[in-house]
């Protein structure tokens, strides 16, 4: 699934996260299922928590990780799809 980066992220009120040594574990309180994020995923999670805007997250990630846009877009799409499937986030079109 490809997500349009002009969307904003709504993080589930049931998601609790903790960061340990650069990695993040997210718990979905609704299902008691755990979700793990590596260092890159952790940074994306931090940015969507801070900004909510995917485009901003994309721009910051591109700059910080010095990665090609296509590759970053694909990786972000994969992660966002997994998080949506797990019910941790939903995406919303910007007004």
Partner 1 sequence: MIFDEYRNAQYGDAIRKCVDSESIVLDLGAGLGLHGFMAAKAGAKKVYLVDPATVLNVAEMVGRSNNLPGVIQYENKKIEEIQIPGSVDIIISVFTGNFLLTEDLLPSLIYARNKFLAPGGKMIPDRALMEVVPVTSTEYYDKNIDRCSSPTQGIDYSLLRKFTSNRLFYCNKENFKCDYLADPVEILDIDLMTAEKAECDNKLTLTMTKDGVCHGWLGWFKAHLGDTWFSTSPKDKETHWNQVFLPLDPPVPVQVGQAMSFELKRLEFGEWTWTVTIDNVRQRHSTFLSRPLTLVELEKKTTNHKAQLNDRGRIVLDVLQKLNGNKSTEDIASTLFESHPDLYLRQSDAMRFVINLIERYT
C-beta of 31 vs 94, nearer to partner 1: 31
The verdict on 49 binding partner 1 (CB under 8 A) reads no
Q: Which of 66, 22, 59, 25 is nearest to 40 (CA)?
A: 22
- CB of 93: closest distance to partner 1 in angstroms? 27
Does residue 40 interact with partner 1 by CB under 8 A?
Answer: no
Q: Which is nearer to partner 1, 36 or 69 (CB)?
A: 36
Residue 92 lies near partner 1 (rule: CB under 8 A): no
Residue 27 engages partner 1 in binding (rule: CB under 8 A): yes
Tell me which of 4, 6, 10, 38 binds partner 1, using CB under 8 A: 38
- Regarding 16 and contact with partner 1 (CB under 8 A), the answer is yes
Tokens of 46: 């931090």
User: Are the C-beta atoms of residues 47 and 60 closer than 8 Å to each other?
Assistant: yes
How far is 55 from 26, CA to CA, in rounded Å?
Answer: 23
Question: 54-65 and 69-85 are packed helices; what angle lies between their axes, rounded to 10 degrees?
Answer: 130
* Furthest CA-CA distance within the chain: 37
Residue 29 interacting with partner 1 (CB under 8 A): yes
């Amino acid at each position: 699934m490809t997500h349009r980066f002009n969307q904003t992220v709504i993080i589930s009120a049931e998601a609790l996260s903790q960061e340990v040594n650069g990695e993040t574990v997210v718990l979905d309180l609704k299902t008691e299922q755990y979700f793990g994020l590596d260092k890159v995923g952790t940074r994306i999670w931090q940015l969507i928590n801070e900004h909510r805007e995917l485009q901003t997250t994309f721009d910051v990630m591109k700059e910080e990780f010095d990665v090609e846009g296509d590759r970053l877009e694909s990786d972000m799409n994969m992660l966002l799809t997994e998080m949506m499937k797990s019910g941790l986030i939903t995406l919303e079109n910007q007004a």
